[in-house]
């Protein structure tokens, strides 16, 4: 067992874990953050995408111990102070989800894209999300949702700005 401390959505969590524990299971089973979905288990589908520090990762292919001392941001950390992120509003406005299973991963990658590229073309959005699968095949509306967010002030956030905003505590 190994003692780790991971800052998830701005809050530090200390746990003793087996080194073989995957980050997705740490989030869901240890911390009860079930917003991130455990899908294909083979890093193909992208339902489990969360941020590790400033970049999206497929958390079924990262060990929890690799996040020791780092920051993780999950879909639960998208809304700030009870206010939905424009990406979330976009998915709601444009019917960007059907069954909703892929949605957390789609939104985390979309948020990352918009931080780097505030006004992405549909082609750019498709490229950014190309490693994520919607089994309902609702891709058109997913692209529209991300465009909606871009058109409604989703761009221009400083990367990492959100990570600690919910609680105000951001350990270095």
Partner 1 sequence: MQVPAQVEYEQAASVEHALDLLARSGPEARILAGGHSLIPMMKLRLAQPETLIDINGLSELAFLEVTGDELRIGALTRHAGLLAAAGAGEHFPILHDAERVIADPVVREWGTIGGSLCQADPSEDLSAVFAALRATMVIRHPAGIRTVPAREFFTGPYETVVAPGEILTEIRVAIRPGGGSSYQKVGRRVGDWPVGAAGAALWLDGDVISGTGIGLTAVGARHFVAAEAEEFLRGRPATEENFGRAGQIAAENCQPVSDQRGPAEYKRHLASELTTRALRAALRRAAPRRAGGQRRPGDG
Which chain residues interact with partner 1 by CB under 8 A?
2, 18-20, 22, 41-44, 46, 49, 52, 55-58, 61-63, 65-66, 68, 109, 127-128, 130-132
Between 28 and 162, name the residue whose CB sits nearer to partner 1: 28
Query: Which letter does DSSP use for residue 158 in this model?
Result: P
Query: Which letter does DSSP use for residue 107 in this model?
Result: H
Does residue 49 contact residue 132 with C-beta atoms inside 8 Å? yes
CB of 167 to partner 1, least distance (A): 26
Report the distance separating Cα 107 and Cα 125, nearest Å. 11
- List, in sequence order, every residue forming a beta bridge with 110; answer none if it has no partner: none
CB of 144 to partner 1, least distance (A): 20
CB of 56 to partner 1, least distance (A): 5
CB of 130 to partner 1, least distance (A): 4
Between 133 and 166, name the residue whose CB sits nearer to partner 1: 133
Between 14 and 55, name the residue whose CB sits nearer to partner 1: 55
Between 11 and 53, name the residue whose CB sits nearer to partner 1: 53
Between 127 and 140, name the residue whose CB sits nearer to partner 1: 127
Report helix, strand or coil for 20.
coil
Report helix, strand or coil for 136.
coil
CB of 34 to partner 1, least distance (A): 15
């Amino acid at each position: 067992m190994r003692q780790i401390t991971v800052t998830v959505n701005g809050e530090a969590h200390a746990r003793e874990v087996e080194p073989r524990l995957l980050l997705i299971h740490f989030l869901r089973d240890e911390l009860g953050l079930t917003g991130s979905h455990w899908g294909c288990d083979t890093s193909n589908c992208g339902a489990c995408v969360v941020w590790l520090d400033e970049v999206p990762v497929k958390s079924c292919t990262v060990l929890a111990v690799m996040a020791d001392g780092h920051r993780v941001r999950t879909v639960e950390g998208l809304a700030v102070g009870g206010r939905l992120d424009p990406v979330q509003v976009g998915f709601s406005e444009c019917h960007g989800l059907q069954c909703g299973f892929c949605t957390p991963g789609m939104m985390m990658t979309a948020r990352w894209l918009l931080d780097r590229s505030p006004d992405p073309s549909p082609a750019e959005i498709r490229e950014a999300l190309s490693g994520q699968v919607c089994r309902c095949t609702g891709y058109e509306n997913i692209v529209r949702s991300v465009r909606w967010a871009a058109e409604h002030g989703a761009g221009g956030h400083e990367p990492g700005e959100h990570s600690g905003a919910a609680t105000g505590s951001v350990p270095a």
